[in-house]
Amino acid sequence: MKQTTTTITLVLGERHSPEKILPTTRMICNWNGRYYRVVETEDFIYFCNYQEGDDNGSVMMYRKSDLTLVCDNFHASNDLVGVILEKKYTYLSKSMQYNAREMQKENEKYKEEEVISEPF
């Protein structure tokens, strides 16, 4: 593992996600691509790989209190979606601002359709 103040790089054969990050970490690189710091809440920091289509490997979730890895599978991805839809974030990266807005619009559209299609 190679670590600078803003980037962590893992070499092939190392763990998928670093066990711990620095408060200044902005990107994590591994065999699967680049994970950018995209969302923060009161308690967690989320890193996302925009090129990864599998929910099992697209998000890494770290605890803010001790900067340790909480989850790096579909549970992290599901939690990130919930945080965005419920607007529980304290920080959104510039690229995630667009994604969050689109997710929220789609969710509202779905809720409206659900109400319209309810039986009487």
Comparing C-alpha atoms, which of 66, 89, 57 is closest to residue 20?
Answer: 66
- Distance CA(85)–CA(101), nearest Å, equals 9
- Which secondary-structure segment (H or E) carries 103? helix 94-116
List of E strands, the chain = 2-3, 7-9, 27-30, 33-40, 44-48, 59-63, 69-71, 91-92
The whole-number pLDDT of residue 32 equals 87
The whole-number pLDDT of residue 13 equals 72
Q: Taking the model in full, what pTM does it have?
A: 0.88
* Cβ atoms of 90 and 45 closer than 8 Å: no
- Distance CA(19)–CA(60), nearest Å, equals 10
* Cβ atoms of 7 and 26 closer than 8 Å: yes
Per-residue model confidence as pLDDT tens for the chain (120 residues): 888 889 999 887 777 789 999 999 999 998 889 999 999 999 999 999 999 988 888 999 999 999 999 999 999 999 999 999 999 999 999 999 999 999 999 998 887 776 666 665
